[in-house]
Chains A and B, each alone.
Chain A
Amino acid sequence: MSIFAKFEDIRQTLAGLSESGQNPLDVRFDEIRSPVEGVVDGRRVLLFGTSNYLGLTFDADCVEAGVHMLRQSGTGTTGSRIANGTYAGHASLEKQLAQFYNKRSAMVFSTGYQANLGLISALAGREDHLFIDADSHASIYDACRLSSAEIIRFRHNDADDLARRIARLKGKPGCRIIVTEGIYSMLGDTAPLREIAAVKRETNSYLIVDEAHSMGVLGARGRGLCEAADVEADVDFVVGTFSKSLGAMGGFAISDLEGFDLLRVAARPYMFTASLPPSIIATVSAALMRISQDAALGMRVRANGLRLYTGLAQAGFSLGPQPNPVVAVKMPDRETAVEFWKQLLAEGVYLNLALPPATPGSLALLRSSVNALHTDEQIDCAIAALCRVGLRLGILEKPAARVIAPQAEKIALPAE
């Protein structure tokens, strides 16, 4: 028997996806021309599925900072910080991150995935209890597998359910650690952080918030949902990524707690991987400076999210529960979702196909994300393309009388 026999279900799924044209899991971009435009099979497509929320991947200052550092310090560090040492850029970026969040310390990881893996698995020891939201990102689930703690899921965004589950521990020893996210990446909804923070206080637990999709997007200073919900003092650890709003690669964790830096010699995904190349550190630092100085970026991406969400809702699509820069369109079934995705790409709009079990509630989703550089015309163009495909596939019952979104700037911004 082949060692790959265990993947037979996956093989069949992939074969089904490839049956009629483009395999959604194997899109090849010939070229990425800007944060909003790419080329697939020689055809221009509008990018509505990149999580590049602030559109900083081509920012001139970020690019120049990276090029300069690439020439000055070479292509890579070729090892971990424990083995090969910390570069000046790693240390200064950590200081910059701590200042950005107004916290004592920051740790830089080589990816956002590793930031969750390292922080959570190191913090949660043998007698401890991790309470994770049921819709947590895979990196949080994988962190749990690496941890020695007991892992309990609570119902998605349900602070009462969290409190009930913590209460069931009764007098059991060990720390209680709650893990939640700012914006959830599949449906674009935000956590009820005030309620969750209240449970944290009442149960004397620790609270970790993953702001991967909300850093730079929410909060007046771009510090994410913790800032927008005014609970920063209750949050013990914030985890984030450099690969979305900051347009690069890498991850981080920040905390005010004394002892946090001990994780540098306890978190294996931090210790046993190469550190980020200086050029990437330089682009991230430039991007973080840009966010610190330009609050308009966050306002624009929120307004663009609202325009896309409102336009699709008015057209009659079934969407996630909240208007945010992640806008999820619910499909009736897996097959329709795949066909919709393919037709949309042919229409010149690229977004993400999200299928179970990577989605909550076994939903088949078309997951789109806007960024701060999308123009109103591009967003309306995407809405119109979705409407055309929706009508063709019978998801929309009749031509929408009005599919152009209202003036976004006249509408109250979400999550502020």
Chain B
Amino acid sequence: MRRPARDVRLVNGWGKLVQQLDSVRAQIIEVLARMIQPGIPISGGTRIARDLGLDSVAIMDFVMELEERFDILIPLDQIADVETVRDLSNAIEALVKDAS
């Protein structure tokens, strides 16, 4: 799988930070869409494991992909609290802010 460019790394101040955080959910959905069968709709309320049929290893691999994209660490213990795309988006936004 080709690794995406790290296009959201925070380097240019608050304006860019806001812009980048806006796109977090879109990027999560983009990565997820590549991992599942085409045509399954994904939104903020989509439950990543239950609705998309991803097993535990697939979810961890997906998270690893997001770590690369956002240049952050997403500890596995935090993933345990994540159920929906929205939960994950919120967690990543917090981690991105923390890392900037």
Interface residues of A (CB under 8 A from B): 134, 144-145, 150-153, 155, 165, 168-169, 356-357, 360, 362
CA distance A164 to B77 in the complex (A): 20
CA distance A144 to B55 in the complex (A): 18
CA distance A165 to B63 in the complex (A): 13
Interface class of chain B by DSSP: helix
Contacts of A144 in B (CB 8 A): 76-77
- Out of A145, A153, A360, name the residue touching B64 (CB < 8 Å): A153
- Out of A168, A169, A362, name the residue touching B58 (CB < 8 Å): A362
Contacts of B36 in A (CB 8 A): none
Determine if B60 is an interface residue (Cβ-Cβ < 8 Å).
Answer: yes
- 5 pairs of A and B residues whose beta carbons are closest in the complex: A151-B76, A150-B75, A357-B55, A357-B57, A168-B73
Is there contact, CB below 8 Å, between A153 and B60?
Answer: yes
CA distance A168 to B67 in the complex (A): 10
Contacts of B71 in A (CB 8 A): 168
- Out of A150, A169, A357, name the residue touching B56 (CB < 8 Å): A357
How many chain-B residues does the 8 Å CB contact rule pick out?
Answer: 15
With contact pairs A151-B77, A153-B64, A155-B64 given, residues A168 and B72 touching in the complex (Cβ less than 8 Å):
yes
Is there contact, CB below 8 Å, between B64 and A150?
Answer: no
Determine if B94 is an interface residue (Cβ-Cβ < 8 Å).
Answer: no
Given contacts A150-B73, A151-B76, 15 further A-B contacts (CB under 8 A): A134-B60, A134-B64, A144-B76, A150-B75, A150-B77, A151-B77, A153-B60, A153-B64, A153-B76, A165-B67, A165-B73, A168-B73, A169-B73, A360-B57, A362-B57
CA distance A203 to B4 in the complex (A): 27
Which positions 64-88 of chain B face chain A at CB distance < 8 Å?
64, 67, 71-73, 75-77
The distance from the CB of B46 to the nearest CB of chain A, in whole angstroms, is: 18
Contacts of B72 in A (CB 8 A): 168
Q: Which of B56, B72, B73, B75 has the most chain A CB atoms inside 10 A of its CB?
A: B73
